[in-house]
Structure 1
Amino acid sequence: MAVGALGFATLAAGTSAVALAQNNQDVITVKKARTHVLAGRAVRVQGVLRPPRRGDVVALQARRRGRWTTLDRDGTDAAGRYRLRYRTRRPGSWKLRVRVAGAQAATAGRAGRARRGGPRRSLGRLNVYRHANASWYGPGFFGHHLACGGNLTPGTLGVAHKTLPCGTKITLRYRGRSVRVPVVDRGPYVAGREFDLTAATKQRLGFAGHGYVLTTR
């Protein structure tokens, strides 16, 4: 999956999907997916249901609080194509998928009937970001005790934050690179900075050392 900086990701249908289509079983494919967005911007997903037919309802769903929540629905056209869109409201990171929710109701505006076990496809995670001022630390602190347990090493992936609970997972993004790491320490204690990245996190992101990153928390 190739992903541009907060742009569309192109997902190719795998061999198994092609084989299912040849056997005339329903297969949901995703051609484009924008799943890294700033808060307030729209998530967009485009794809095709195979074999193609008009009238099936495809749903975009996020995993929130232990259950799948539908963000948007669209009925397929005669070629099986669908387009889904959802405007985000706040930062966060959730599992994301598309699934065939059911046959479209004959009357416009009525919800389609549910179809249990309909085809579905994972889109990984929906990451909704805000800007945050960050720095990094490492040399001179390696071997020191971390506030959340353990010792800091050159390979420790994580961030320091003043108030987020230890172990809280956050997704950071910088110039097209993303990494999902836990809160492992407390800090930074410089006015105006929200996160201190460990050396390994800095390297994984290609972070310059001080400046703004995108964060889901």
Structure 2
Amino acid sequence: MLVRASIAIAVAGPGSLGTALASAATTASSGGTAAPAASGNSHLKVTVTPRQHVLRGDDDPVHGSVRPGRRGRSVLIQVRRDGDGWQTVAHATTGADGRFRASWTTHSLGNYAVRAKVGSTGPSGKAEHGVIVYKASQASWYGPGFYGNRTACGETLRPSTLGVAHKTLPCGTKVALYYHGHAVTVPVIDRGPYAAGREYDLTAETKHRLHFGSTGTVWSAPHAH
């Protein structure tokens, strides 16, 4: 099951550039709750709901609303990757009830922030929601028979050790993993796997937290967190 989270952004309307912005509220519901508006009736309440875990090359659907509802408001969907500047990736127009829908296509792995902004100018809320873009990777797991041994990265392997083995990623590299609704970020602690076609060996604890089987496909994003 895909996990969704909502962010609420208070956006200053026309003629209110000098008014302080409302604090943005982050929720973990699929419906979304708007942040309290700052003083003055000219402020709009905007909610936006992206999908948190996305496979590279897929479209990430984004929906939300602008209150008070009015047909024809222009909404910009913007993303920012790993501290870069905001980039507009989609446009939407509100319906009579203030709701809008859009999508953007993910091309690069990593962490993104997603927001919706009403109009092309003027201040926007500071609420940001994280989205991770992954690739599909073949994985297996290991542990029994190796506990107590030192890994290639100098760590003692135990049943409680969180991490993955990878052939080339530097030791300590953080790797975000996602499998059927379960997500975890772990470091590279060892070398392997050496079976053809497999990219990662998961430790027993990593396997447990992902509810992973013996072998299969996981979504992975090196350097993400």
* Structure-2-length-normalised TM-score: 0.73
1:51 alignment partner AA: P
Matching of residue 52 in structure 1 with residue 69 in structure 2: yes
Match of 2:88 in 1: 70
Match of 2:186 in 1: 181
The CA RMSD measured in Å over matched residues stands at 2.7
Q: Give 2:113's match in structure 1, choosing from 96, 100, 104.
A: 96
Q: Which 10-residue stretch deviates more, 143-152 or 156-165?
A: 143-152
| Cα distance between partner residues in 2 of 1:215 and 1:36 | 10
Match of 2:150 in 1: 145
- Please list the CA deviations of residues 90-148 of structure 1 after superposition, one character each: whole Å capped at 9, or x if unmatched: 4x121322132x52xxxxxxxx2x323x1254332232332x22111112222322333
2:46 alignment partner AA: I
2:122 alignment partner AA: R
Check conservation: 1:146, 1:184, Cα contact below 8 A: yes
Q: Give 1:128's match in structure 2, choosing from 122, 129, 134.
A: 134
The number of residues matched between the two structures is 197
Residues 193 and 37 (structure 1), Cα distance of their counterparts in 2 relative to 1, 3 Å cut: same
| Cα distance between partner residues in 2 of 1:194 and 1:51 | 50
What secondary structure sits across from 1:216 in the alignment? strand
Normalized per residue, which structure has more strand? 1
5+ residue gaps, structure 2, are 6-28
Check conservation: 2:76, 2:88, Cα contact below 8 A: no
Match of 2:199 in 1: 194
Match of 2:175 in 1: 170
Following TM superposition, the consecutive aligned residue runs of length 4 or more in structure 1 with deviations greater than 6 angstroms are: none
| Cα distance between partner residues in 2 of 1:166 and 1:29 | 40
Match of 1:161 in 2: 166
Taking only the aligned residue pairs, the percentage that are identical comes to 42
Residues 66 and 145 (structure 1), Cα distance of their counterparts in 2 relative to 1, 3 Å cut: farther
Match of 1:109 in 2: none
Q: Give 1:34's match in structure 2, choosing from 51, 57, 60.
A: 51
| Cα distance between partner residues in 2 of 1:136 and 1:98 | 37
5+ residue gaps, structure 1, are 104-111
Check conservation: 1:62, 1:71, Cα contact below 8 A: no
Residues 29 and 158 (structure 1), Cα distance of their counterparts in 2 relative to 1, 3 Å cut: same
